[in-house]
Structure 1
Amino acid sequence: MPDQGRRYYRVKEVADLFDVSVNTIYRAIDSKQLTALKIGEGKGAYRVPDYAVAAFEKACTQAAHEDHAISSAPMAEVEGIELGEAA
């Protein structure tokens, strides 16, 4: 029986929340980036608890900020070269 007050999402719902494909969510589950409960045997179905969706969103947001910080930095800073220094 699910925890009271806990919401479980279908994979399609999670994909819709993040505006990505269902396959992207399955890859996140397979790589353990997104926690999901498998229901049934074989291929089965997955349910993603609300706390896992929140943690995944936080991780994605953090990764996007880090990527933006690197891509926004001057090239010399990214490469570790000080301006005026000969390569």
Structure 2
Amino acid sequence: MSEVKIFRVSGRMLLSHDRFPEWRKFAVYVRALKPEHALERVYSELGSRHKLRRRHIKIDRVEEVPLEEVEDLTVIKLAQLERWVKA
């Protein structure tokens, strides 16, 4: 079984592309098995959260990071879980 890793995906996204376009930097921490999976997750989250198309998201870097460098509390809590409990 593969181990879930934590990736930091950073890049730029085009906000308000119709009237006053502005490229804004972002850095997102996601849990995934491979860098490709992390990339798909970021496209999905940013697209749904900010109503962006994939062409409005430019990825600069995808890197695996240790748990000590993660700043997102949700990702930290998920990484520290020992097991999932089904209800």
> Quick check: TM above 0.5?
no
Larger radius of gyration: 1
TM-score in terms of structure 1 length: 0.27
Higher strand share: 2
Q: Which has the higher contact order (CA 8 A, sep 6+)?
A: 2
Higher helix residue share: 1
